[in-house]
Amino acid sequence: MSEEKFQPKIVAFVCNWCTYTGADLAGTSRLKYQPNVRLIRLPCTGRIDPVFIIKAFEKGADGVLVSGCHPGDCHYNLGNLHARRRFILFSELMNYVGIDSSRLHFSWVSASEGKKWVDVINEVIDTVREVGPFKKYQKINKEFVLHE
């Protein structure tokens, strides 16, 4: 391959109990995935505020993944259910202003789903790679830096 593949920057906000542990399991099982993701560990998807996602884009992320426990599996019983409702509203809003599901991803990955974590993260990276660098956001970022 002559031309350099675009390496997207992905930030993943994950809950400590399910997805983070599932990602650990992927490691324990020595499954492989692409290295373009940086995880930020939070106690629960309930802790994930939409401002985190916007800030991640502002800081240069090409894609964001939010991942937690399946409904019913939440370590805090209900955190992910409140989060889910918040994500419905926020993902619709983001889509409306032009950040669609190719850049903003959500998943439920349980502590036992190491394989699913690998599949999800590879899919997210591939999808974001397909749509390319988030030039639109980088433009307003750049202008901002100049402005400052």
Partner 1 sequence: MNELREKAKELLLNNTVKLIIGYANGNGHNRTYPFIARNAADANRLVFNEYCVNNLAVYLTRKEFKGKGIIGIVAKGCDVKAIIQLIQENQINKDEVYIIGMNCNGAVNQLDNSFEKTTLAQKCINCTVRTPALYHALIGTTKDIEEPADTLGEKIKEVEKLNADSRWDFWEAQFEKCIKCYACRQVCPLCYCEQCIVDKTVPRWIESSAHTRGNFSWNIIRAFHLSGRCIGCGECERVCPMDIPLSMLNRKMSIIAKKEFDYSAGVSLDSPTLVGTYNMKDRQDFIK
Partner 2 sequence: MKIGVFVCHCGENIGKTVDCATVAQRAAKIPGVAYSVDNKYMCSDPGQNVIKNAIREKKLDAVVVASCSPHMHEKTFRKAAADAGINKYLCEIANVREQCSWVHDNIPDATDKALDLVRIAVEKVKRNIPLTAIRVPVTKRALVIGGGISGIQAALDIANSGFEVVLVEKEPSIGGHMSQLSETFPTLDCSQCILTPRMVEVYQHPKIKLLTYSEVEKVEGFIGNFTVTIKKKARSIDEEKCTGCGLCIQKCPIKKKAFNEFEEGLATRPAIYVPFPQAVPNIPVIDRSVCTYYQTGKCQMCLKVCGREAILFEQQDTLVTEEVGSIVIATGYKLYSIDKKPEDSEIKGYGEYGYGKYKDVIDGLQFERIASASGPTNGEILRPSDKTQPKKIVFIQCVGSRDEQKGFSYCSKICCMYTAKHAMLYKHKVHDGEAYVFYMDIRAGGKMYEEFVRRAIEEDGVKYIRGRVSKIYRQNGKYIVKGEDTIAGMPVVIDADMVVLATAMVAQPNASKLAQTIGVPYDKYGFYQEVHPKLRPVEVSTAGVFLAGACQSPKDIPESVAMASAAAAKSLVLFGSDYLEREPTVAVVNEANCAGCFYCLKVCPYNAIEKKEVKNKLGEIIDYIAHVNAGLCQGCGTCNATCPSKSIELIGFNDEQIYAEINAFSESFV
Please report, as ranges, the residues that interact with partner 2 according to CB under 8 A. Answer: 9, 11, 17-18, 20-21, 23-28, 30-35, 38-44, 46-49, 52, 55-56, 59-61, 72-79, 82-83, 86, 110-113, 118
Which of 74, 54, 67, 63 shows the shortest CA–CA distance to 106? 67
136 binds, among partner 1, partner 2, none (CB under 5 to 8 A by kind): partner 1
Residue with smaller CB distance to partner 1, 3 or 72: 72
Measured between alpha carbons, how far is 102 from 127 in angstroms, rounded to an integer? Answer: 6
122 binds, among partner 1, partner 2, none (CB under 5 to 8 A by kind): none
Task: Report the nearest approach of partner 1 to the CB of residue 57 (Å).
Answer: 9
Q: Is 84 in the site for partner 1 (CB under 8 A)?
A: yes
**How far are the Cα atoms of 1, 22, 55, 80, 113 from residue 60, in angstroms, in the given order?**
27, 26, 9, 27, 29
Q: Is 47 in the site for partner 1 (CB under 8 A)?
A: no
Considering only 29, 78, 126, 130, the residue that binds partner 1 (CB under 8 A) is: 78
Rg (CA), the chain: 16
Q: Is 115 in the site for partner 1 (CB under 8 A)?
A: no
| Joined tokens for residue 15 | 């809950």
Measured between alpha carbons, how far is 35 from 6 in angstroms, rounded to an integer? Answer: 13
Which of 3, 6, 38, 1 shows the shortest CA–CA distance to 135? 6
Task: Report the nearest approach of partner 1 to the CB of residue 1 (Å).
Answer: 27
Task: Report the nearest approach of partner 1 to the CB of residue 2 (Å).
Answer: 28
